[in-house]
A and B are shown apart, each in its own frame.
Chain A
Amino acid sequence: MIPMTITEKIMALNSGRDKVVPGQLVWVDVHSIMTMDYLGEQCFKQFRSLGVNEVFDKERVICVSDHLVPPPNEQFATMLNRWRQIVKEHEIAYFYDLGRQGIAHQIMVEQGHVLPGKVSIGTDSHANTYGAVGAVGNAIGVTDAAVAMATGKCWFRVPESVKFVIKGTWQPYVMAKDLSLHIMGMMHWNGHLIYKTLEFTGEAIEALDMAGRMTLCNMTVDLGAKNGIVAPDAVTQAYLSGVAKGDWEMIASDPDAHYDAVYEVDVTNVGPTVALPDKLDDTVPVEKVVGRKFNKAFVGTCTNGRVEDFAVMAEILEGKQIHRDVNMIVVPASQAVYLEALKRGYLQTLVEAGAAIDTPSCAACAGIHTGVAGDGDIVLSAGNRNMKGRMGSKNAQIYLTSPAVVAASAIRGEITDPRETGTY
């Protein structure tokens, strides 16, 4: 047998082959397909135009309302009504609509719709998040979704793999987001990662909880990569037990598998990190930007809207007040996250500190609703994208960073190193 990486093995296994090689185009069986409110209607329409009436498996086409809920205007309310109708017509088993909603990628992982050793796809770019459980997770367009809904299959170009070995120990208030931004700054948009699979390994990855793995895999798309993946281990098994919808396989790369490149990062030396406005790969250690003023703080999204993120924020903001010049919006990534953060008291701490909590959705992340940026706003965000206009106005600036940095900075109204707030 030729040695293979985890991604090659998953592609081979799910396409009925003994082996695959990078560059090969193969049709792969998909385990689950996600689509959501603003593209879903088009997916079903395309699907119907194939001359098929029933999806390949009603339990494996997952529908979510996340970008447009709750609808901020009449146009979106009407779109959502059509969306609900079409989901109902197709007797979709799992429909996470307002009331049971969440950001699709969070839902797919937390509800066990993505599994180790399988391939799952979604009509949104951050479907890479699914790599956190050892699945190949990929974003696809409406056409691919329609074909997959009909056939249960999707074509793929087998990607080349790049390995990131993450060593060392995580320092206090350093989060997976900081590592993502660090890698972003290290690799730049130099093209080395375009279309590649990024495989994260090493002791610091083994030490990472599922929330951190999701953050890390989530942002691989923003590096231009095809997908990111963490091999399943005991953390994965514990996370999936009781929620997994289906059986799975523990798959790992062969020790002598081929990688296009191997990079090593010692996380001991990674501190809180910030991406400067407009460019994701323009990242600096927080020390370099300490003292810069901002007026809006945003924590949520498929990157950093999880219980673990709110735990760190609550720890920092406990008994403190958010600066009067800062408006902070916090949006849990799903109803399950919302409920858990409520039960643990994190949201109470955040509200007492002066944060506004909103119902789970993509919120201002894509500039659609709930706290969009206006002219002159300077936003400190724990989201994933900061190009001009992303959160609304083109005349706003967006800094990206971790929930810990956002929380600590909100107290002072200027960018602050969370490792220092204890003494403040």
Chain B
Amino acid sequence: MAKITGKCWVASDYVMAYDIIIQRFWTSPIDKAENAKWVMAGVAEEFNRENGFVEGGFTFIVAAHNFAGGGKSIEHVVAGLMGAGIQAVFANSFSRLQFRNAINYGLPFITCRDLAKGCQTGDELEWDTESGTVLNLRTGEAFHSVPVAPFVADVAAEGGLMNFIRNKIADGSIHELH
């Protein structure tokens, strides 16, 4: 699976975690499909309805600074984005809490400095997961993102940290975590 192609949604700076999942859902169960229904409800008026964001059919989010920041650690954020079909988020910087959650769930959060400047919402992008190159198919412009770290790739390949750990418990290599 070296290349992933799909439509992107371009976000502004400081898309906050507590706007991606609004307060009403902070105590609801973590469930990709359920969390996706109202994901992004607080970010833009057009997403503030059931399946508002999901219906956009986006594969990528292209954000700028401090994506999913604001200090909320709830995992509904990443679960909701995955449930909505998002396969990678590119941004200048991420909040650390959600960066962790994303790695643990196997949703790549990728640092890519200038992509936001060269994309509009709805553009088709092609992401080469190995080289890190992101191609905007509308403009033909290519961008370079930070390649995914080996540990992160391993976790994603096993379907998230839980499976990664389960497999290590099963094969007895859990004590070798270093």
Contacts and interface: CB of A to CB of B under 8 A. Distances in A.
Decide whether A and B are members of one complex: yes
Interface in B1-41: 14, 16, 18, 23, 27, 29-30
B70 interface: yes
B151 A189 contact: no
Nearest to A52: B169
A63 B69 CA distance: 26
Interface in B84-114: 92-97, 99-101, 104-105
Interface string B125-154: 000000000000000000000000101100
A124 B75 contact: no
Nearest to A17: B178
Interface stretch (A141-149, A240-248, A356-364, A398-406): A141-149
Contacts of B166: 50-51
A155 interface: yes
Interface string A219-250: 00110101000000000000000000000000
Contact of A143 (B16, B72, B92, B104): B104
B23 A389 contact: yes
A395 B92 CA distance: 32
A224 B169 contact: no
B119 interface: no
B73 A194 contact: no
A142 B100 CA distance: 11
B66 interface: yes
B57 interface: no
A27 B149 CA distance: 15
A151 B178 contact: no
A39 to B, nearest CB: 8
Contacts of A195: 93-94, 96, 99
Interface centre among B92, B93, B177 (most CB of A within 10 A): B177
Interface centre among B73, B104, B152 (most CB of A within 10 A): B73
A49 B93 CA distance: 32
B30 A194 contact: no
A94 to B, nearest CB: 22
Interface in A235-282: none
Interface string B53-93: 00000000000011001111111000000000000000011
Contact of B95 (A143, A153, A157, A194): A194
B27 A147 contact: no
Contact of B165 (A25, A140, A141, A147): A147
A155 B154 CA distance: 13
B30 A142 contact: yes
B162 interface: yes
Interface centre among A52, A147, A195 (most CB of B within 10 A): A147
Give chain B's interface residue range (CB within 8 Å of chain A). Answer: 35 or more
Contact of B72 (A26, A125, A389): A125
Contacts of A16: 178
Contacts of A51: 166, 169-170
A183 B37 CA distance: 38
A27 B93 contact: no
Contacts of A123: 73
Contact of A221 (B23, B27, B71, B174): B71
A221 B71 CA distance: 6
Interface in A44-88: 46, 49-52, 79
A139 B98 CA distance: 11
B70 A387 contact: yes
A235 B87 CA distance: 49
A50 B65 CA distance: 35
A367 B94 CA distance: 26
A376 interface: no
B165 A27 contact: no
A226 B96 contact: yes
B151 A224 contact: no
Nearest to B75: A141
A142 B75 contact: yes
A290 to B, nearest CB: 29
A65 B160 CA distance: 29
A191 interface: yes
Contacts of A226: 96
B161 interface: yes
A421 interface: no
Contacts of B18: 387
Contact of A26 (B30, B66, B161, B178): B178
Interface string A320-335: 0000000000000000
Nearest to B176: A27
A330 to B, nearest CB: 24
Interface in A328-379: 367
Interface in A278-335: none
A221 B66 CA distance: 13
A38 interface: yes
Given A143-B104, A221-B71, 12 more contacts: A38-B27, A42-B29, A49-B162, A51-B170, A125-B73, A140-B73, A144-B100, A155-B151, A189-B65, A194-B93, A224-B71, A367-B23
Interface of B: 14, 16, 18, 23, 27, 29-30, 65-66, 69-75, 92-97, 99-101, 104-105, 149, 151-152, 160-162, 165-166, 169-170, 174, 177-178
22 contacts: A26-B178, A27-B177, A27-B178, A50-B169, A125-B72, A141-B73, A141-B75, A141-B97, A141-B100, A142-B75, A143-B104, A143-B160, A143-B161, A143-B162, A147-B162, A150-B169, A151-B177, A157-B99, A191-B65, A194-B69, A194-B94, A367-B23
